[in-house]
Amino acid sequence: MMNKMKYQIGVGLAVAMVMSSIVTSCTSSTASKKKRPNIIYIMSDDHATHAISAYGGIYDDYLQTPNIDRIANEGIKFNNVFCTNAICGPSRAAILTGKYSHENGYYKNESGGKFDSTQWTFPKAMQDHGYKTALVGKWHLGTEPVGFDYFKYHDNPGQQGFYYNPIYNENGTKVKEEGYATTLTTNYALDWLKNEKENEKPFMLMLQYKAPHRNWFPEEKYVDLYKGMELPYPETFYDDYKGREKTAGDTDMTMDFFNRKDMKLTPPEGLSPKELNRWYAWGNKRGMGEGWMPNDTMTVEEARKWKYQRYIKDYLACVKSVDDGIGRVLKYLDEEGLAENTIVVYTSDQGFYLGDHGFFDKRFMYEPSLKMPFVLRYPAEIKQPKENNDMITNVDFAPTILDLAGVQIPGDVQGKSFASNMIGNKPTDWPNSMYYHYYEFPFWHHVQPHYGLRGERYKLIHFYYNVDQWEFYDLKKDPNEMNNAIDDPAYTDIIVQMKIDLKERQKQYGDDESLNEFRAITDTDFGNISGNH
């Protein structure tokens, strides 16, 4: 097990390079023109699919995302894209490497150490095959980015970034910038594109926003965007966690666990820096002020609703600025005549709970955090808007980007290119289910580690750290996952088969250790993102 816990260094160098099957229409066209596509990969942090108007949701009357929608309406909207480990750093590592957490070595945020930058990543492969590469915005992996000709990433302690006056690391030099992070990050991305305008090489830009990550500070012009409104509550806001008491019902991510900084409260005067940090953090975890009231006159229920309204308004306002930034990028491509041969992707590192099940944050294998938005535009090859319902995961991103760029994919990459799926040629061996594994516990948010299989209709989850709890959901009959049907005799045969399939999938991916070995990963302190320990 300890060998699996070590970072997988240089595995790709020992494996013969093989050419992935590339979309026939894309390869024939680009080969004849001898002009490979430019690629702009745009990723936000914690952007839920149901906070994008192209996907639809209860906020459509309050938030429109016309620029993200434009990518979908002029390209492809993917409806079944999933995260293999729904937490920021591990998701980013999976995207870069095309490998699951147990293979790329980056399991968790808290005590998860730093990403092993010596291993193969798709930006390295792009750079090695003639692409000019850049990364701007959130990195959140500890080590400096490798495989980029230029980078400028958020580099405050913890690398979460600040919404206002953020600290960036620009090619190894830290610099504090004045302004709003989403706008600044867009500025730097556009600056790089303009500087590369005369370059004959194709480019690959990773534009990665901090927003809408916690603590949800909107841009000044959007601070009062929803003033005086009461935004709608999700259908599952009052979930009582029946049948899931030890899992969904035992977390630190309900409305009780917002802290005072989340709620934009003003601290009393005269606090020392240490006292101020503690004051702001009040409410973060059990035993630390959970369930605090904004004032003495509110009931518990009133406080819960007040916190939700404060949260959702700030969250959606942050999304608005992300959409504005994407609009600026699309406008630049149009004005410079680059749109036709530039692939633009928009996604998030995972989904997020917007009051669903009474939660905020992510981590669980339930749909709101498991599902990721993913839209793609490529005018040279995609002439009509499409939708795709194939099951895709974030480990599939790297091979797909390489495939579209005509770059070879190493044989040890675990993801599969979905380039041919884009034109309706779904491979006969394409998976009809996806595998998930989450490791971090107890801080943050006290979510029990778990793994599982999500099929086209059914979902099976095993929570294992200090519980032994199975959950099963029929997503057709119970799309909100309110009824744990693990003991329902009507599903006995399906559950038995899914447990067999789950074991086979774990063996296929090399994640078939014992529960004690899985627990050891959770317990291991790999260090922190800003230092060793």
Helices (H), 297-434: 300-335, 367-370, 397-405
Q: What share of the chain is helix, strand, coil (3-state, %, to 5)?
A: 30, 15, 50
On whether the CB atoms of residues 177 and 165 are closer than 8 A, the answer is: yes
Report d(CA 265, CA 255) in Å as an integer. Answer: 16
Report d(CA 3, CA 344) in Å as an integer. Answer: 38
**H or E stretch covering 41:** strand 38-44
The predicted pLDDT at position 530 comes to 74
The predicted pLDDT at position 35 comes to 87
Alpha-carbon dihedral angle through residues 303, 304, 309, 311, given to the nearest 10 degrees: 110
Q: Convert the pLDDT of each residue in 493-520 to its tens digit.
A: 999 999 999 999 999 999 999 999 999 9
The predicted pLDDT at position 199 comes to 85
Q: Convert the pLDDT of each residue in 16-75 to its tens digit.
A: 233 333 343 444 333 334 589 999 999 999 999 999 999 999 999 999 999 999 999 999
Report residue 13's pLDDT band, with 50, 70 and 90 as the boundaries: very low
On whether the CB atoms of residues 364 and 86 are closer than 8 A, the answer is: yes
Indicate the average pLDDT of the chain: 93
- CA-to-CA dists, residue 194 to 207, 333, 336, angstroms: 14, 10, 9
The predicted pLDDT at position 531 comes to 59
Task: For the full predicted model, state whether its pTM sits above 0.85.
Answer: yes
CA dihedral for 61, 63, 66, 70, sign (positive or negative)? negative
Q: Tokens 């989450």, residue?
A: 438
Q: Convert the pLDDT of each residue in 390-400 to its tens digit.
A: 999 999 999 99
Cα angle 79, 21, 406 (rounded to 5 degrees) comes to 95
The predicted pLDDT at position 198 comes to 83
**426-430 contact pairs (CB < 8 A, 24+):** 426/390, 427/21, 430/390, 430/391
Q: Convert the pLDDT of each residue in 346-390 to its tens digit.
A: 999 999 999 999 999 999 999 999 999 999 999 999 999 999 999
SS (H, E, C) 78-105: EEEEECCCCCHHHHHHHHHHCCCHHHHC
The answer to whether residue 4 scores a pLDDT higher than 70 is: no
Q: Tokens 């000019």, residue?
A: 132
- CA-to-CA dists, residue 134 to 16, 205, 374, angstroms: 27, 5, 21
Report d(CA 262, CA 217) in Å as an integer. Answer: 8
**H or E stretch covering 231:** none
Residues facing residue 375 across a β-bridge: 77, 346
The answer to whether residue 475 scores a pLDDT higher than 60 is: yes
Report residue 130's pLDDT band, with 50, 70 and 90 as the boundaries: very high
Report d(CA 530, CA 533) in Å as an integer. Answer: 9
